[in-house]
Amino acid sequence: MFRFVRCLCFVFAMICVFYAEGGARNCQDTLYSPGEMLKPVDSALKVAQGDQAIGFSLPSISGKKVSLSDYLGEKNIVLAFIPAAWTPVCSDQIYEYTFYEDYFREQDAVLLVISTGDIPTLFAWTRMMMNVWFPVLSDSTPPGEVSGKYGVKRSTGISERAVFIIDRRGLIRYIDVHDINEKPDINTLLTELKSLNK
């Protein structure tokens, strides 16, 4: 029975990919639309540029825990807080990141995606995205603890759509707490990331 269910899931995923001209962003029938526009920002930032990044250790969809300290002294780090799996803007954002593995490698950087969703939900969602090369971490236990420490936890319990760039020393060099209804501009992120190596 389990193999049959797995087979059905695989077939569904392949059909979705086959019909999607632009990947996950066009599989609209699998995504939940929150409907009306949300309040653009609903939190109070607790860190600033130049601050030491707040450490964390979170479970990932790979089954391993990932800590900020794993990369300090070795890599530049991009933290991308993404509000909710299976929603259009979040899916578009994470799908877009899948195209930039080489650029992150060139900038000696790692991308860590953090969501308040649980591991099973994030695992299934990212499998639909295909080629997710970066760690996807769950900030669900306790709910939103890490997003709360950074000051990007909304009153509803999910995180803001927020991006932080942290240098090898662990200093926060860039912050974008973005309108939750819109995807951040990838070119701005890449430009800011490149500036760390100048």
pTM of the model: 0.85
Q: For the CA atoms of 178, 17, 64, 59, what is the dihedral angle to 10 degrees?
A: 40
Q: Say if 136 falls within a structural domain.
A: yes
Q: Is residue 129 part of a domain?
A: yes
In a domain, 25, yes or no: no
Q: Which are the catalytic amino acids?
A: 90
* pLDDT tens-digit map of 53-70: 999 999 999 999 999 999
Would you say residue 22 lies in a domain?
no
Cβ-Cβ contacts under 8 Å for 96 (sequence gap 6 or more): 183, 186
- Residue 43: count other Cβ atoms within 10 Å of its Cβ: 19
Residue 12 within a domain: no
Among 35-39, 56-60, 152-156, 178-182, the range scoring the smallest mean pLDDT is: 35-39
Closest to 157 in 3D by CA, of 42, 35, 44: 42
* Cα–Cα dist 152/163, whole Å: 10
> Does residue 16 surpass a pLDDT of 60?
no
- Domains contained in the chain, number: 1
pLDDT digits (tens, 9 = 90+) for 119-168: 999 999 999 877 799 999 999 999 999 999 999 999 999 999 999 999 99
For residue 138, being part of any structural domain is answered with yes
Within a domain: 139: yes
Which CATH number goes with the domain that contains 83? 3.40.30.10
Give the number of other CB atoms < 10 A from CB of residue 52.
12
CA distance 47 to 53: 8
Domain containing residue 141: 35-195
Residue 1 lies in a domain: no
CB–CB of 76/44 below 8 Å? no
